[in-house]
Structure 1
Amino acid sequence: MSESKYIIIGDGAAGATAAENIRDRDDEAEIHVFTDETEPLYNRIMLKTYMKGSLPKQYTRLHDENWYEKRDIELHLDTRVENIDTENKQIEADGTYGYDKCLVATGGSPRKLPQDEGYDNLKYMWTMENAETVKESAEDAEKAAVIGGGLLGIDLAVAYAENDCETHYLIRGENWWSRGLDEEGAEIIHRKLEELGVNVVTNSALESFETEGDEITAVVDENGERYEVDAVAAAIGQKPNSGIIDVEKNESGMIETDEELRTSEKDVYAAGNMVEYVSPVFQRKIVNGAWDHSEAMGEFAGRKMTGEKGEFEFVNTYGVGHFNVQFLSIGATFGQSVSKKYSEDEYRRLFFEDDRLVGAVMIGKTDGQEELRKLIKEGSPVENKEELFE
């Protein structure tokens, strides 16, 4: 192949995987990977175990700088890309770099609480640096509050509780992860959290903080309940890191792509979490932040950028590994749902759209997951929904 120039912005699961796949298909290519982080690729999923104190930091690392050198990929650590000039096909970072194809895999940043005024003991979580500060906070704190009823919030709550910290987990709605679970399924998760020492508080939206100087001393919710704290951690979603490029974006600022992960600008692709793409599987626009999904997007983008054909057809799987029962989510959580609780610790919820299976959430009873994933990808109508519970 000719000596093409590839620029990849972001060294997460999507960016690093794309670089690897480009190199596998183009021995002569010039490949640059830019990241504003100070360390090469690490396993973001394993950060939840690292925060608990049960996994040494070195075991979260996936690549070192030598990995990039061996593959003749130029890695620019601690380097922020300021602008992508799509007209002249170049970027501005620690210098000016031209490209033939560019991948934006910049992900997102934690969304901050409206009540945040820069308090020293208020923590957010996404990067390795964040994980280190949360780990230190959890080890030092005696009382903590965690805010945010999603998949990342549960990791923060368990991190504090497993460091022998009195932990109050404040969830705005009726139950944890209401997008994927009803109250019957969430009861299992709430109970497992309580067994780990987490005080689960539902219907508890944050109202205000009580403070002394730069420290939060108490959290007050809209019901007037007050929780004394040494530390607070929040996971209320992310905002996309998409300001470096002028392409079509959705109302939340996420970069939009087609089913081939191409943006509205020629030769610019986007991948990873906080990217909205057209999914041939789900027949609609999709955003997904799961690790395996971002990795698959990066692999696909690398192939597309080197000239392969096809559409991005992928069904993700996400697990929560904190409990003595397995939690697994496959596919999407939209459409109509039906659920079944088999026993105290076994539950399944299935999501359908126009009689097509689009998603499944399983607790305890996770057998048949590959068959369900295949059904989701095939998109064939399901005649007997009840059979899928068995």
Structure 2
Amino acid sequence: MKTKTYLIIGNGVAGTTAAETIRKQDPTGSITILSEEDIPFYYRIRLNDFIAGEVSEDKLIAKKKAWYQEQRLELRLNTRIAGLDAAAQRLTSDRGEKLSFDRLLLATGSHSFLPPIKGIGQQGVFALRHIKDARAILAQAGKSEEVILIGGGLLGLEAGNALRRLGKKVTVVEFFPRLLPRQLDSKGAKRLQKLMEKMGFAFRLSAMTKTITHSSTGKVDGIVLEGGDTLPGQMVIVSAGVRPNLELAQSGGLDCDKGVTVNDRLETSANGIYAAGDVAEHQGVVSGIWPAAMQQGKVAGANMAGGEALYQGATMSNILKVAGIDVAAAGNIDAEGRYEAQVVSSGSIYKKLVIENNRIIGCVMVGDTANFSTITRYITEQRDITTLKNSLL
């Protein structure tokens, strides 16, 4: 029987988990992971610790070279795939090399979205997504005292906190009237903001950046807001969300909407081609969270190796540390206050359960995330909490 050739584009959690799963089911197949990055699979969530100088680059790496050898996986770094011929089951690298496959996984991840702000393309403006971004931010930090963060999203706040730990003055400019608008309601966001202000962060909410300005030498020296206010800064970090990397899938003629559309087996519209992680859209949802990417990697890998696994979707939940403060959110956070809610609020702690028909449909926690895993399980199971209602928080 002919051994199968598996190609995986992307060296993140989805691609790496898929490779591991394939190897468990197919001990003889040839598995190659192709990555544009220059280091093996690493903990992206720890990039801020690297910026703060608290973790070396080596310690970021989750899978050392020995692991790839043990699993008999070929890892090809610094490799960009420029073309996909879905019918011929062939990839072309940017160096013109042709690579044939029996099964392909697109785990190409996402890229930082850069809004159309005047001056955004100049020196001293950064987005944090990959190790190369973290290296560039760290290099610029040595020449900067004041940092402006455009966007109050998670990665941006974490990068800002890393720079604050290096002694920089950090100002966050957020278009929404609250921080972490996807994870927190207004009361939870206010609690987080107060805690961060005590640490030295400054905030400009409901504010829009019009221009990033630069000095006569071409270096960033601040921003101008829509109302005309100016803020000084020698570096700007943009954290305005991410977009899936769809170029390869689109060039190969695969069905795409917000992401590459997949079925419950994580198959794309092309035979033998699967997608997982930040690039995949399942039942209209691009989840963009680590647990979902890991689960999708498992399901895609199992099916690529001839299994019968189904992806059931994931409860959208995040458990985060923002500037050292525990924050968690799951399901419908009900920012508009339309549903029944149970709230505990005291000191630095804010916790809310969102309830519909005696079932939890969402929760928000700031300052204390005990019970979070139990509550997310109840959301997933749609458990009746009539008898537990007053004790869960």
**Common fold, TM-score beyond 0.5?**
yes
Distance (Å, rounded) in 2 between the aligned partners of 1:385 and 1:262:
41
Moved over 6 A (4+): none
Which of 154, 157, 176 is equivalent to 1:154? 157
TM-score normalized by the length of structure 2: 0.90
1:31 aligns with 2:36: no
Residue 360 (structure 1) shift: 2.4
**1:256 is aligned to 2:256:** no
The residue number in structure 2 matching 1:328 is 328
* 2:75 equivalent in structure 1: 75
Following TM superposition, by how much is the alpha carbon of 1:365 offset from its aligned partner in structure 2, in angstroms?
A: 3.2
Asked if the contact 1:185/1:341 (under 8 Å) is kept, the reply is: no
Inter-CA distance 173–380: structure 2 relative to 1 (3 Å threshold): same
Whether the 8 Å CA contact 1:11–1:105 is kept in 2: the answer is yes
**Counterpart contact for 1:269–1:301, Cα < 8 Å:** yes
Q: Residues 139-288 of structure 1: matches in 2 within 5 Å?
A: 139-212=142-215, 213-245=217-249, 246-250=253-257, 252=258, 254-278=259-283, 285-288=284-287
After the TM superposition, which of the residue ranges 102-111 and 52-61 deviates more from structure 2? 52-61
Code of the residue aligned with 2:256 in structure 1: it is K
> CA 1:341 to 1:205, structure 2 compared with 1: closer, same or farther past 3 Å?
farther
* 1:124 Cα deviation after fit: 0.8
When structure 1 is superposed on structure 2, of 376-385 and 302-311 the one drifting more is 376-385
Give distance in 1, aligned partners of 2:37 and 2:277. 16
Other structure's SS at 1:375 match? helix
Equivalent residue, structure 2, for 1:4: 4
Specify the SS of the correspondent of 1:140.
coil
Match of 2:293 in 1: 294
1:136 to 139, 145, 156: 139
**1:268 & 1:184 partners in 2: Cα distance?**
44
CA distance in 2, matches of 1:384, 1:177: 32
Aligned equivalent of 2:348, options 342, 345, 349: 345
Point out where structure 2 has 5 or more consecutive residues left out of the alignment: none
Q: Which amino acid aligns with 2:138?
A: K
Equivalents in 2 of 1:91, 1:4: separation in Å? 16
CA contact (8 A) 1:124 1:233 kept: yes
Return the alpha-carbon distance in structure 2 between the equivalents of residues 35 and 351 of structure 1. Answer: 41
For residues 134-172 of structure 1, give each alpha carbon's deviation from its aligned partner in whole angstroms, at most 9, with x where no partner exists: 122234311110011211121122122121111111111
The percentage of aligned residue pairs carrying the same residue is 24
CA contact (8 A) 1:292 1:316 kept: no
SS at match of 2:123: coil
The answer to whether the aligner puts 1:50 opposite 2:50 as a matched pair is yes
Q: For 1:6, what is the secondary structure of its paired residue?
A: strand
Aligned alpha-carbon RMSD (Å): 2.3
State the alpha-carbon separation in 2 of the partners of residues 255 and 249 from structure 1: 4
TM-score (norm 1): 0.90
- Using the alignment, how far apart are the partners of 2:332 and 2:188 within structure 1? 17
